[in-house]
C-alpha cells in the first residue's frame, strides 16, 4: 500500500509539474500612445503556436495586432481589438514576428497582456499516446488531476486579468469623480461669494449727496 501511495504521489507530482511547466511566454507590457511594440520568435516548420492577448487598461481597451511569418507575409491582422486568440501551424522555418500597435491613439496609454504558447503539451505519462491498453485507475486519476490543474491555471489567469481591468476602470472612475467634486466645490464657492455680494448690495445705505441752498 505504501508503494502505491508513493507511485500515486510521483505521478501526481509529474502532472502538477507538467501543468505548471508548459512551454510558453506570458508578458504584460505598457504601450504608449502612438507607439508599437514587436516581439520575435524563431520556430521550426510544422509547429503549432497560439497567441492570446487582452488589453487591461487604457482608452477604449483596444489595440491593433498583427503576425508575420519569416517571409514577411501577414498571417494575422486585427484592428482595435480588446482581446483575441490566434492559433497557427507554421509552414516555414524562421523568425516569426508579432506586434501590438497603439499608433491610432494620440492620448491613451495601454497595458496589454499576452500569452504566447509554442508546441503541444507533452503527455504526462510515458508512451501515453501509443498505448493500446486502457489506463489504470491510478493513471486516469492523475490525468484528471492534470486537466483540472490546467483549468485552474486558466481560470486564475482569467480572473487576474478581470481584476486588473476592473481595478483600472475603478481608478479611472475615481479620478473622474474627484475632478468633478473639485469642480463642484469651486462653482459653489464662486456662487456663494456672488450671493453674499449681491445681498450686501441690497442692504447698503445710500447716502444723499452733500450740499444745499444757502440761507
pLDDT tens per residue across span 142-154: 778 877 887 787 7
The predicted-structure confidence for 27-86, as pLDDT tens digits, reads as follows: 888 899 889 999 999 999 999 999 999 898 888 889 999 999 999 999 999 999 988 999
Spatial separation of the C-alpha atoms in residues 71 and 26, rounded to whole Å? 25
Query: What's the pTM?
Result: 0.61
Our CA angle for 187, 192, 196, nearest 5°, is 150
Q: What single-letter DSSP state applies at residue 122?
A: P
Amino acid at each position: 500500500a505504501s508503494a502505491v501511495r508513493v507511485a500515486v504521489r510521483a505521478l501526481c507530482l509529474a502532472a502538477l509539474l507538467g501543468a505548471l511547466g508548459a512551454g510558453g511566454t506570458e508578458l504584460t507590457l505598457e504601450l504608449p500612445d502612438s507607439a508599437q511594440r514587436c516581439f520575435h520568435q524563431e520556430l521550426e516548420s510544422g509547429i503549432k503556436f497560439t497567441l492570446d492577448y487582452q488589453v487591461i487598461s487604457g482608452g477604449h481597451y483596444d489595440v491593433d495586432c498583427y503576425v508575420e511569418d519569416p517571409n514577411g507575409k501577414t498571417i494575422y491582422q486585427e484592428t482595435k481589438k480588446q482581446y483575441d486568440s490566434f492559433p497557427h501551424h507554421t509552414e516555414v522555418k524562421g523568425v516569426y514576428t508579432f506586434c501590438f500597435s497603439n499608433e491610432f491613439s494620440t492620448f491613451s496609454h495601454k497595458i496589454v497582456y499576452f500569452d504566447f504558447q509554442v508546441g503541444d503539451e507533452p503527455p504526462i505519462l510515458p508512451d501515453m499516446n501509443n498505448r493500446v491498453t486502457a489506463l489504470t485507475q491510478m493513471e486516469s486519476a492523475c490525468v484528471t488531476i492534470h486537466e483540472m490543474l490546467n483549468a485552474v491555471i486558466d481560470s486564475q489567469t482569467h480572473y487576474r486579468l478581470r481584476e486588473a481591468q476592473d481595478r483600472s476602470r475603478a481608478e479611472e472612475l475615481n479620478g473622474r469623480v474627484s475632478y468633478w467634486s473639485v469642480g463642484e466645490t469651486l462653482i459653489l464657492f464662486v456662487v456663494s461669494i456672488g450671493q453674499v455680494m449681491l445681498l450686501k448690495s441690497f442692504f447698503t445705505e445710500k447716502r444723499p449727496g452733500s450740499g444745499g441752498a444757502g440761507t
